[in-house]
Amino acid sequence: MENSYPYKLEMSVRDYELDIQGIVNNTVYQNYLEHARHEYLKSVGIDFKSFADRGINLVVVRVELDYKFSLTSGDRFWVGVRMERESAIKLAIYEDIYRIPDNKLILKGKIIGTVLNSRGRPKIPEEIEKLI
C-alpha cells in the first residue's frame, strides 16, 4: 500500500477540525488533500506561485471522495499521492488517507484537474508531463 505512492505526507488532526460528533468534519478532508497535493508538487519542483506568475493555473474540475472511516482528535495520519493522465487535457490525482499506526484506510480520493495556459486554454506544461 505505502509503496504504491510516489509521495507521502504525515499530518495530525487538530481539535478545531472536529464537528459536533467529535470526528473530523467531512469538508476538512479536502484541506488535507489539497495540502498534500501542493506539498507533492513542491517536492518535484512545481510551485503554484511561479506558475501563476507565468499565467499558468492548475485547477480542480472534479472531486470524488469515498469516506471509509472517521478520524478523531489527535489522530495521526498520512496522505499518499500519485498522479496519472486522465485524458489529453486532464490529470487524475489519487490521494488516499491512512491512519497511523494501524494504516487503516480512512478516505479514497480522486481529484481531476487540468492546467490552463496564459490564454485560459487547457494545456499540460512540460514540467507536469514529466510526472505522468
Give me the count of residues in the chain.
Answer: 132
Q: Are 34 and 111 in contact (CB under 8 A)?
A: no
Where is 79: in which H helix or E strand? Answer: strand 76-85
b/e map 18-29, b = 16+ CB within 10 Å:
beeeebbeeebb
Catalytic residues: 19
- Name 114's Cβ contacts closer than 8 Å, sequence gap at least 6: 58, 59, 61, 89, 90, 91, 122, 124
